[in-house]
Amino acid sequence: MIARVLVALAVLLGGTQAMGAQSTSVILSTTTSTQDSGLLDVLVPLFEAKSGYTLKTLSVGTGQALALAAKGEADVALVHAPALEKKYVAEGTLLNRRLVMYNDFVIIGPAEDPAKIKGLSAVEAMKRIAASRSRFVSRGDKSGTNILELALWKDAGVEPRGAWYIESGQGMGQTLGIANDRGAYTLTDRATYLAFSKRVDLAILVERDRPLLNIYSVMEVNPANGPRINAAGGKAFADFLLSPETQGVIRTFGVAKYGQPLFVPIAGKREEDVGQP
Amino acid sequence: MTLVGEGLLEALRLLLTGDREVWRITLLSLQVSGSATLLSLLAGIPLGILLALARFPGRGLTISLVNTGMGLPPVVVGLFVTIFLWRNGVFGALEILYTPAAMVLAQFVIAAPIVTGLTLAAVQQVPEQFRLQMLGLGASRVQMVGMLLREARLPMLAAVMAGFGGVISEVGASMMVGGNIKNSTRVLTTATVLETSKGNFDVAIALSVILLIITFLVNWALTWIQQRARS
């Protein structure tokens, strides 16, 4: 009996051990939106086939993704919070910030629009939502979306607080569900909104405003941040994202499913030129 | 309700068409939780027996700790295992974070106290006279423990079921130490969370149904062994 258990154990451990080998692995810390949209499911196998590296993706909120990279727990970061990114780059923990792609955020809410924000600028819309104390669901999780939302409140001169302001503490998908359920406003990236449009009755009320641009950048992790950082692997993934072929894949991603692309590739562009025709 | 119906249909479709991704996830769930349960048996059964039979200072405290451990929140285990396994962590040199090995480790920490505690209870419910009688009849200590285990084997199968049931169904620790990486550390529970956050509720329901079927089959098999042994 005991011998049989030991044999079974050896087989099981042998199997998991093989999967644990990671001398050639690269760790990418990224946001939930790149994963939830399905983009990484397309890009990762391409990268692995091309480079020979194994890529491990940690998709967490942007705040956590950057913090993990800064601690040296990842080799490369793909995130969307330009102001925060620049802080890490200025500190020197993350290197070589390069723009990869963008899409945009939209403010959605109940079709009857109690705060009357339809067609306004994003900041003006936030002011009206707060003034009318209409329910608003916030991610509240330091994700890229949450960081932008807080910046919008700040620009609107509003301290969001009170029963109307609901912090979900969850991913975008869950947050959309809560906003839908409560008939509340929320800020969402367009890709996740499209993915949920079947189950969410909320309508897009504010869009195509410059502050709502959602710019994704890739940064390599400074090898000085900690032991065992795969700097070459991190750079290989960053270069892969910016290569013409990958940018082509990004350009057409999502068209088949949603009838429109989810991301616009912008390798080589400057931040101030993004979104200009 | 239509959603649940769609989910059940999707579950059947995924299982019957042999969707490779789903099979991989299902097998990994079994492999990780199976390994963790086996390891926790190897550690927990001897420890449980020791605690039941031996008398030493600090025994009461140890038993209290084990009993507390039976209710360890998986997210807490996940957090601490992650911190220890970080590249900057104490065991960073192992480089097993975000691999199935790390998940086995975390699930072992969750299951071991459950197995230990239930083994302790199983051995203790064997009447003390039985032990004394064995020794009185000239059994060696090893023989006595062997006989004791035979007597306690039925409740100990419950320990196996509880340990396995605890780890195959947990999501917090697997998510943190595994990272829910496609083709590598994605198991049934973490995949269910992901599909829900993607809005693919039908797939999420399908994965949940598969998880339920697995836990049912495993427990059914163990119960069958247990009840057959009894009759």
Domains and CATH numbers, chain B: 2-230 (1.10.3720.10)
Q: Which of A4-8, A11-15, A139-143, A229-233 has the highest mean pLDDT?
A: A229-233
Alpha-carbon separation of residue B168 from B43, B71, B74, B107, B208 (angstroms): 19, 15, 11, 9, 12
Q: Which residue of B88, B101, B198 is in closest CB contact with A173?
A: B198
Q: Give CA–CA dist A209/A275, Å, rounded.
A: 10
Which CATH number applies to A104-212: 3.20.20.70, 3.30.365.10, 3.40.190.10, 3.30.300.20?
3.40.190.10
pLDDT at B189: 96
DSSP A222: P
Residue A277 pLDDT level (bands cut at 50, 70, 90): low
Contact A85, A76 (CB under 8 A): no
Whether residue A188 is predicted with pLDDT greater than 50 in this model: the reply is yes
pLDDT at A10: 55
- Return the CA Rg of chain A: 21
Q: Which residue of A36, A56, A228 is in closest CB contact with B198?
A: A36
Whether residue A136 is predicted with pLDDT greater than 80 in this model: the reply is yes
**Please, what is the average pLDDT of chain B?**
90
Q: Which residue of A12, A40, A229 is in closest CB contact with B38?
A: A12
Name residues whose C-beta falls within 8 Å of residue B17's C-beta, 6 or more positions apart in sequence. Answer: none
Q: Which residues of B touch A44 (CB under 8 A)?
A: 182
Q: Within an 8 Å CB–CB cutoff, is residue A8 touching chain B?
A: yes
Q: Which residues of A touch B88 (CB under 8 A)?
A: 71-73, 226-227
A28-60 pLDDT per residue, tens: 999 988 888 889 999 999 999 999 999 999 988
Name residues whose C-beta falls within 8 Å of residue B220's C-beta, 6 or more positions apart in sequence. Answer: none
Closest CA to B86 of A32, A68, A233: A68
Whether residue B70 is predicted with pLDDT greater than 60 in this model: the reply is yes
Q: List, in sequence order, the alpha helices (H) in chain A.
A: 2-20, 32-36, 39-51, 62-70, 82-91, 122-131, 144-155, 172-182, 190-196, 231-242, 244-252, 255-258
Q: What does the pLDDT average to over A143-157? A: 93
Q: Hey, do A24-101+214-270 and A104-212 end up sharing a CATH topology, with the first three levels equal?
A: yes
Q: Give CA–CA dist B198/B202, Å, rounded.
A: 11
Find residues 164-183 of chain B whose CB sits inside 8 Å of chain A: 179-182
Q: Which residue of B32, B38, B196 is in closest CB contact with A8?
A: B38
Whether residue B64 is predicted with pLDDT greater than 80 in this model: the reply is yes
Q: What does the pLDDT average to over A234-257? A: 94
Residue B152 pLDDT level (bands cut at 50, 70, 90): confident
pLDDT at B118: 94
Instruction: Between A98 and B7, name the one with better pLDDT.
Output: A98
Residue A22 pLDDT level (bands cut at 50, 70, 90): very low
CATH superfamily, with its number, for domain A24-101+214-270? Periplasmic binding protein-like II (3.40.190.10)
Q: Within an 8 Å CB–CB cutoff, is residue A15 touching chain B?
A: yes
Task: Give buried/exposed letters for A159-193 (b at 16+ CB in 10 A, else e).
Answer: ebeeebbbebebbbbbbbbbbbeeebbbbbbbbbb
Mutate to test the interface with B, among A36, A56, A198 (most CBs of B within 10 A): A56
Contact B197 A171 (CB under 8 A): yes
Identify the bridge partners of residue A102 per DSSP, sorted by sequence position: A215, A264
Its ipTM equals 0.71
pLDDT at B132: 85
B95-149 pLDDT per residue, tens: 898 899 999 999 999 999 999 999 999 999 888 888 888 888 888 888 888 888 8
Number of Cβ atoms within 10 Å of the Cβ of B114: 26
CA angle, A7 then B33 then A12, to 5°: 25
Q: Give CA–CA dist A18/A20, Å, rounded.
A: 5
Contact B121, B155 (CB under 8 A): yes
Distance from CA of B173 to the nearest CA of A (A): 14
pLDDT at B13: 85
Q: What does the pLDDT average to over B205-214? A: 92
Q: What does the pLDDT average to over B164-179? A: 93
Domain ranges for chain A: 24-101+214-270, 104-212
Residue with tokens 């502050």: A211
Q: Give CA–CA dist B179/B186, Å, rounded.
A: 8
The per-residue DSSP string of B54-98 comes to: ---TTHHHHHHHHHHHTT--HHHHHHHHHHHHSTTSTTGGG--TT
Q: Give CA–CA dist B223/B157, Å, rounded.
A: 8
Listed range (A128-132, A139-143, B51-55) with the worst mean pLDDT: A139-143
pLDDT above 70 covers a percentage of chain B that reads 99
Mutate to test the interface with A, among B41, B98, B149, B168 (most CBs of A within 10 A): B98
Mutate to test the interface with A, among B27, B84, B85, B87 (most CBs of A within 10 A): B87
Q: Within an 8 Å CB–CB cutoff, is residue B198 touching chain A?
A: yes
pLDDT at A3: 52
Mutate to test the interface with B, among A73, A188, A229 (most CBs of B within 10 A): A73
Q: Within an 8 Å CB–CB cutoff, is residue A227 touching chain B?
A: yes
Listed range (A9-18, A172-181, A268-277, B133-142) with the worst mean pLDDT: A9-18
pLDDT at A21: 39
Q: What does the pLDDT average to over B146-162? A: 87
Contact A12 B197 (CB under 8 A): no
Whether residue A142 is predicted with pLDDT greater than 90 in this model: the reply is no
Q: Torsion angle of alpha carbons A138, B176, B204, B195, nearest 10°?
A: 60
Q: Within an 8 Å CB–CB cutoff, is residue A178 touching chain B?
A: no
Chain B residue nearest residue A199, CA to CA: B199
Q: What does the pLDDT average to over B63-74? A: 94
Q: Which residues of A touch B41 (CB under 8 A)?
A: 5
Name residues whose C-beta falls within 8 Å of residue A232's C-beta, 6 or more positions apart in sequence. Answer: none
pLDDT at A9: 54
Contact B101 A71 (CB under 8 A): no
Residue A20 pLDDT level (bands cut at 50, 70, 90): very low
Q: Within an 8 Å CB–CB cutoff, is residue B191 touching chain A?
A: no
Q: Give CA–CA dist B138/B157, Å, rounded.
A: 29
Task: Supply φ then ψ for residue B180, to 5 degrees.
Answer: 55, 45
pLDDT at B156: 83
Chain A residue nearest residue B97, CA to CA: A20
pLDDT at B94: 87
Q: Give CA–CA dist A80/A143, Å, rounded.
A: 9
Q: Give CA–CA dist A85/A82, Å, rounded.
A: 5
A96-134 pLDDT per residue, tens: 999 999 999 999 999 999 999 999 999 999 999 999 999
